[in-house]
């Protein structure tokens, strides 16, 4: 009988070896159903045993330049000014419970008044970073070296607010966590500041211009080997004709020895980095000087040229209007919001010691025509699946 049973099992059309014709019908039906269900049950077990996958990371985008959770205030800081900087305004979080606040000082470029950079300051302050905008004494003739000194002097002066009796920042600053940011010639000055002061936590250079028209001691140049202490972020536009990235931004990036990142905005011009949402020339020129002052400046230049003064272009005021209109203010959603998002993530990482910013900084934004970083990668940050 056993041999016949084996033969019957071998010729059984059912694929499962659990089937046997001499088993009782109820048990046979149960085993049959278990056999049919086994493939589905095994798949369920395997899926349940896998560790949950973390959601895929996404690059910083339109919503990354929104204002932060903190209410902000501003204060005229003319009392801090000296020969290096002629005007200053402090933007700060108003919540008294916030202590040990880091700070960043911001300067404009050629022909820029202080207010040209005013869109950046409240954006940073709303995220818990004290920001101070400054204006230089001669915005049309101040070299990168002059702007570098202005940034460093202003940063140190700002730290004095931590001890000043009547200051809104008394007892609230972390004087060891300082950064600087500059635009155009101020971007060259910010990079010079990074080379001159290794105690800075980081630097942001917007559409940087190294100042090639100035004598070498007043322009940006990199020692060999370059210092590695101060991380540098460079933001620029690929259509910038005043400070072309191929001439300034990318060479500056390659000569930087510290942790670094360059973000080139597709279709961006020289005015694009003026604000976290992306600035425009029209808005920047909205704060221009009056027509009367424009006429006075033109007359002065003509008089100097008639006297054949070789320094007329440098010693006389420029007839063009000062760029003094804030542009590119923070917004909940902005097509070029990644500009502010990347800048904020840079400060979060190096000023606020927020390591979660690394995974955001290594991802190329959708609006980037050029993007590269070095020295900021985390082991798992490059997994973009």
pLDDT at 317: 52
369 CB burial (10 A radius; 0-12, 13-18, 19+): middle
For 181-227, how does the pLDDT look when each residue is reduced to its tens digit (9 = 90+)?
Answer: 999 999 999 999 999 999 999 999 999 999 999 999 999 999 999 89
Condensed to tens digits (0 to 9), the pLDDT of residues 297-322 reads 556 556 665 676 655 444 545 545 57
Measure Cα distances from 51 to 48, 56, 359 in Å.
8, 15, 21
Q: What is the pLDDT of residue 59?
A: 87
Walking along the chain (385 residues) 10 residues at a time, the average pLDDT comes out as: 50 48 55 57 41 60 94 97 97 92 97 95 98 96 97 98 96 97 98 98 98 94 94 98 97 97 98 97 75 54 62 50 87 96 98 95 97 82 37
Q: How many CB atoms lie within 10 A of CB 294?
A: 17
The predicted pLDDT at position 105 comes to: 98
The Cα–Cα gap between 91 and 68 comes to 13
DSSP 327: -
117 burial via Cβ count (<10 Å: 0-12, 13-18, 19+): buried
Assess contact for 299 and 92: CB atoms under 8 A.
no
User: pTM (2 decimals)?
Assistant: 0.79
- 35 neighbors 19 (Cβ within 8 angstroms): yes
């Amino acid at each position: 009988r056993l041999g016949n049973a084996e033969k019957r099992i071998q010729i059984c059309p059912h694929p499962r070896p659990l089937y046997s014709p001499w088993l009782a019908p109820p048990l046979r039906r149960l085993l049959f159903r278990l056999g049919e269900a086994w493939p589905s049950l095994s798949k369920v077990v395997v899926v349940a045993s896998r560790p949950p996958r973390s959601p895929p990371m996404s690059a910083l985008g339109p919503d990354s330049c929104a204002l932060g959770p903190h209410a902000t205030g501003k204060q005229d800081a003319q009392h801090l000014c000296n020969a290096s900087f002629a005007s200053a305004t402090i933007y700060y979080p108003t919540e008294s419970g916030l202590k040990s606040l880091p700070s960043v000082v911001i300067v404009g470029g050629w022909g820029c008044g202080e207010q040209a950079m005013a869109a950046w300051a409240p954006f940073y302050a709303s995220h818990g970073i004290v920001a101070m905008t400054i204006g230089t004494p001669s915005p049309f003739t101040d070299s990168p070296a002059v702007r570098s000194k202005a940034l460093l002097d202003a940063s140190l002066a700002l730290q004095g607010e931590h001890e000043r009796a009547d200051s809104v920042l008394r007892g609230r600053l972390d004087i060891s966590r300082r950064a600087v940011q500059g635009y155009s010639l101020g971007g060259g000055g910010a990079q010079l500041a990074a080379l001159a002061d290794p105690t800075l936590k980081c630097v942001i250079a917007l559409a940087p211009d190294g100042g090639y028209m100035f004598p070498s001691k007043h322009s940006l140049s990199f020692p060999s080997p370059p210092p590695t202490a101060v991380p540098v972020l460079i933001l620029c536009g690929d259509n910038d004709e005043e400070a072309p990235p191929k001439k300034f931004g990318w060479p500056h990036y390659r000569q930087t020895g510290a942790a670094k990142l360059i973000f080139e905005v597709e279709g961006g011009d020289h005015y694009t980095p003026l604000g976290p949402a992306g600035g425009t020339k029209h808005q920047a020129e909205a704060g221009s000087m009056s027509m009367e002052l424009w006429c006075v400046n033109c007359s002065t230049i003509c008089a100097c040229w008639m006297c054949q003064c070789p320094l007329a272009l440098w010693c006389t005021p420029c007839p063009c209007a000062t760029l003094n209109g804030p542009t590119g203010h923070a917004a909940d959603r902005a097509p070029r919001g990644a500009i502010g998002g990347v800048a904020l993530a840079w400060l979060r990482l190096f000023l606020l010691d927020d390591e979660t910013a690394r995974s955001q900084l290594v991802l190329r934004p959708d609006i980037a025509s050029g993007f590269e970083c070095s020295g900021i990668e985390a082991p798992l940050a490059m997994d973009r699946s």
